[in-house]
Structure 1
Amino acid sequence: MSSVPLLPSADPDSYVSTPLTYDEIGGTAHESMPAGYHHVDVEKHIGTGLEFFELAGRRIVEWDMHRGAGLRVRSSAASATVDAVVVLLLGPVRIPCRVVEVIEESHHRGFAYGTLPGHPESGEERFTVRHDPVTDAVTAHIRAFSRPGNRVVALGGPLNRATQRIATGRYIAALTA
């Protein structure tokens, strides 16, 4: 009888050929996100100036936003690149994701990742920051669609949404720290 680990692996390399747990890849890039999921769409002014925008963009793509939100990060790449795998750790919880899109434009930076098997949820999350060259304002934008990844998580109901709201707030706060 083989033993099955209770938790997914914390090693990003163990997910290299693992498929995503949802079909709507890139769904956070569209104005209307996929039906059948809980949606998050939070936009907040976080600062001013091109220098601040560059710093916030680096914090997103180099995983510092996640670290600043209290997560430990294990990644197959130092910064978000398409197909990079990141395993976020919060205590004993392991949260494996794969980067599905990187945004690197003159006034728009960030990435989106999708969930891998073992993630508590199933879906996609997108983290971006924009600089408005006219007003000089810098805005963070987090969009996500998700549903429970397993029956245990499904039992959490409203607690799952509260956890997601807290995490989103912590991500945005980490960009301004």
Structure 2
Amino acid sequence: MSASGGSGREFTYAEVGASLRAFRDEAPLPSGYRHLRVESELGRGDTVFEVAAAQLFSWDMHRGAGIRIPPGTPLAVPGVEVDLGFGLGPVRASARCRVIEIVDTPDIRGFTYGTLPGHPASGEETFVVERTVDGRVRGTVLAFSRPARWYTKLAGPVGHLLQQQIARRYLAALTA
């Protein structure tokens, strides 16, 4: 895939699609970034799997984690850009991402998005819901990123801890 992903705005990193390849065990996450992998068992059965996948693609997972997503944002499909809003009180930030690729198989559903200019970080995240042979449903967030703005560079390791916390909140939102 090209660095722009088919639209005029370039991704803010070169390794487009690397987190999904790492999820598939096709390649390691790229060096030079902080890596994140958070997994959680979401429950059991077909209904849990279908509901979690629907929440994932409709951005309800993000909303449930406290991330603002504008009303009317299309479902997560390749090329869709999303404006993620977050912050505390009057201190708010916006982060634009573009969906790179989706996974839609009978037992694995999810998508990857990458950062666009202005995002506080540079990198990508893959969000996946899996149904195992024994009926368990697992959620996974796999990411690589590095600070891209002065304030995320200043945050240092605290920024990575916040990313871990948000990833856990994403997965918790899939069980709600």
Normalising by structure 1, report the TM-score: 0.87
Q: Which runs of 5+ in 2 are unaligned?
A: 1-6
Q: Which runs of 5+ in 1 are unaligned?
A: 1-15
SS in 1 for 2:79: coil
CA-based RMSD of the aligned residues comes to 1.3
Work out whether 1:59 is the aligned partner of 2:59.
no
Equivalent position amino acid for 1:87 in 2: D
Alignment of 1:1-177 (within 5 A): 17-29=8-20, 30=22, 31=25, 32-74=28-70, 77-91=73-87, 92-132=92-132, 134-177=133-176
* In structure 1, C-alpha distance between the alignment counterparts of 2:72 and 2:114, rounded to whole Å: 15
Seq. identity, %: 42
Q: Is the 8 A contact 1:76 1:86 kept in 2?
A: no
* In structure 2, C-alpha distance between the alignment counterparts of 1:42 and 1:139, rounded to whole Å: 10
* In structure 2, C-alpha distance between the alignment counterparts of 1:17 and 1:85, rounded to whole Å: 12
Aligned length: 161
Cα–Cα, structure 1 residues 148 and 39, in superposed 2: closer, same or farther, change >3 Å? same
Cα–Cα, structure 1 residues 20 and 76, in superposed 2: closer, same or farther, change >3 Å? farther
Q: Is the 8 A contact 1:75 1:87 kept in 2?
A: no
SS in 1 for 2:158: helix
Equivalent position amino acid for 2:47 in 1: E
Equivalent position amino acid for 2:58 in 1: E
* In structure 2, C-alpha distance between the alignment counterparts of 1:20 and 1:78, rounded to whole Å: 20
Q: Is the 8 A contact 1:115 1:124 kept in 2?
A: yes
SS in 2 for 1:24: coil
TM-superposed deviation, 1:76? 7.4
Equivalent position amino acid for 2:19 in 1: T
Equivalent position amino acid for 2:29 in 1: M
SS in 1 for 2:66: coil
Q: Is the 8 A contact 2:126 2:143 kept in 1?
A: yes
TM-superposed deviation, 1:61? 0.7
In the TM superposition, what whole-angstrom CA distance separates every residue of 1:26-79 from its partner, at most 9, and x where no partner exists?
110223100100000122211100111010001101100000001110377521
SS in 2 for 1:153: helix
Normalising by structure 2, report the TM-score: 0.87
SS in 2 for 1:73: coil
Point out the structure with max Rg over C-alpha: 1
Q: Is the 8 A contact 1:37 1:146 kept in 2?
A: yes
